[in-house]
Structure 1
């Protein structure tokens, strides 16, 4: 009698696909990284701003070093020059703001007159008024029909009255002083960190390479190219913004808009904030031209000046100045601006392009991050994938 033998399979169970594991791990790491960026922004934003300032001032420091100045002296001279320029611009802005504050109340009647002139144009016409009334009637009928289907015991929710405690003037003053103190402390921290980064650039670079490990020549090439691209981009952006702000100040001065140099300087600074900054820089001179001129010629001239500068800057100056300095595609810049603005607000808009440049360069030199170069680089996909590897000399 043959006894059947039970065959026991010794084939090991099929593991989960490596691609799925890698996808899950990358997703978890990305989620943790975003949470860290969000909750650590109180520390990371000053650090990022200090790094950005160090990148912007490093070419000037290197230029002075090539003139045989010690690095410490070069850093001191560059920081002194930069701080003097900023304080001088702040002093001029303060004086012009004071003059505008004294002059604006005299134009109150002019503003009221223009608003009365605009009121007929803003009032809805007969057709628009009838359509609005019809929509209101339909909305009331829908609300009445909805209430008819409600159960009879349903009552309107009770409104709870909340007592609002008015704060005293001293409490508001303390809050204002605390807010200003925190902002000044943040600015001081950014300046101190920038000075340290400029003084110890080589040491910080070596420490970062040692911390990251891996292929040191590739990491060194990635860091060097990142710093060079970010510095070149910031220098080009400063030149473009000055090339926009100075003609704007001169044009507003010729037109007769009060505080022309204030609005030109403000437009220069606000253009460091992508997308939102140029719009804000154009609003202030237009509003002031509207308030000052009894007619409409100053408003039209100001609008024409701003439109001309925007067209020339966006279509001629910026393509020539930036060119291939960033190596980032326009879509990547837009997505990066949206992402960092959601995380860090307006400061994220300022840091979006430099951070994306660093990511693209890292992806170009490091194989695990090659997808960043493919997604964000301005080069064609085939060229981005087949980017030449770094060969140390």
Structure 2
């Protein structure tokens, strides 16, 4: 009589162990599949960047202009008309900026060697402690060159023609810009077509409402963020350009545009602009004390924008922690170069907002959030719990 319960218990234990082992195997297989999927995604994004880059830029541009299209629709203007006007204005602004800035930028690139020589002469007093090290390096370099066999000839690999390379790059850039603006036009003019397609993908009315609410929330928050940040960066570039013009800096329009564009790269962009402006100021002005006014003005503008304007206008909830920002910039710059670096933070915000709307991905959104944002959310949850109690 006692053997039967014992055998039954052993069978239950074995069945439980089998279930636990099966769940572990399932989790392992799922993790492997997710890893393979992520690896294949990165592989596809890298080797098919000529396709994915303009498509993602088109989506970001459409999200940026969506609040304006929605506002004009409330005024009685159809999406097709407002989308066409906004895309044409975007093309005009982009072409005008490229035409106005092309000359000064080309001059700066052509004068790179002279700028470096002037900077070296200007900072000669700072170079003296390093002269001994530089002499040793030159001596080692001389020994290396003399140690080569006299009969050995250096082989130089001929580079492809400059004009053919430039023509190829211009053609590729023109094709990408065409895809960006045309696809943005279609996305903005489509209206609620994508929302209708999403609703049709679900069977029950509850699932349709939930999916539509999530899509609307994500689209509204991301479009608001992108448009607001674009306006803030434009204002920052305008203020910096006017301030540098008042200080007598050459090409203030270039530095204002660079500040506006590079400010899409938090921390990194401001540092790049600061270094460039400091170099030009040092070789432009007579005294170092006056030359340091330009970078000091940049630092002041960046502090006001980063600590007061952007948090007040955008809000703390969509802020990303610095570690995630640096990792995203490094990853996307490796993947797609400078354009990828500019897209890194907007794409990171897209991922965070999307994760915040799904409980299974909330830990990812919490990791991407800034520290003070998480603290504020925890305090709000505690207050809600206390009120409910």
Give the TM interval when normalised to the shorter protein: 0.7 to 0.9
Q: TM-score, normalised by structure 1?
A: 0.74
| Count, aligned residues | 349
Structure 1 residue 212: deviation in Å? 8.1
What are the Cα deviations for residues 1-32 of structure 1, in whole angstroms up to 9, with x where unaligned?
A: xxxxxx99976572425255225413431441
Structure 1 residues 212 and 268, CA gap change in structure 2 (3 angstroms): farther
Structure 1 residue 259: deviation in Å? 0.9
Partner secondary structure for residue 28 of structure 1: helix
- 1:303 pairs, out of 287, 290, 295, with 295
Question: How far apart, CA to CA, are the structure 2 residues paired with 1:281 and 1:270?
Answer: 7
- 1:57 pairs, out of 61, 65, 68, with 65
**Does residue 1:199 correspond to 2:207, yes or no?**
no
What are the Cα deviations for residues 82-136 of structure 1, in whole angstroms up to 9, with x where unaligned?
A: 222222222321354477789x69x96x97576345334312279x86xx89xx9
Q: TM-score, normalised by structure 2?
A: 0.75
- 5 Å-filtered alignment, 1:34-45, equals 34-41=39-46, 42=49, 43-45=51-53
Structure 1 residues 258 and 337, CA gap change in structure 2 (3 angstroms): closer
What are the Cα deviations for residues 182-241 of structure 1, in whole angstroms up to 9, with x where unaligned?
A: 121111111111111111142223335556889332222221111111111112212321
Q: CA RMSD in A?
A: 3.8
Structure 1 residue 350: deviation in Å? 2.8
Structure 1 residues 218 and 160, CA gap change in structure 2 (3 angstroms): farther
User: Of Structure 1 and Structure 2, which has the larger fraction of its residues in helix?
Assistant: 2
Question: How far apart, CA to CA, are the structure 2 residues paired with 1:361 and 1:20?
Answer: 32
Question: How far apart, CA to CA, are the structure 1 residues paired with 2:275 and 2:166?
Answer: 27
Structure 1 residues 184 and 58, CA gap change in structure 2 (3 angstroms): same
- 2:265 pairs, out of 273, 278, 281, with 273
- 1:243 pairs, out of 225, 235, 239, with 235
- 5 Å-filtered alignment, 1:193-272, equals 193-208=183-198, 210=200, 215-272=207-264
Larger radius of gyration: 1
Structure 1 residue 34: deviation in Å? 3.8
Unaligned runs of 5+ in 1: 1-6, 137-158, 389-393
CA contact 1:241–1:268 (8 Å) conserved in 2: yes
Structure 1 residue 341: deviation in Å? 3.9
Question: How far apart, CA to CA, are the structure 2 residues paired with 1:385 and 1:373?
Answer: 16
Where does residue 391 of structure 1 map in the other structure? none
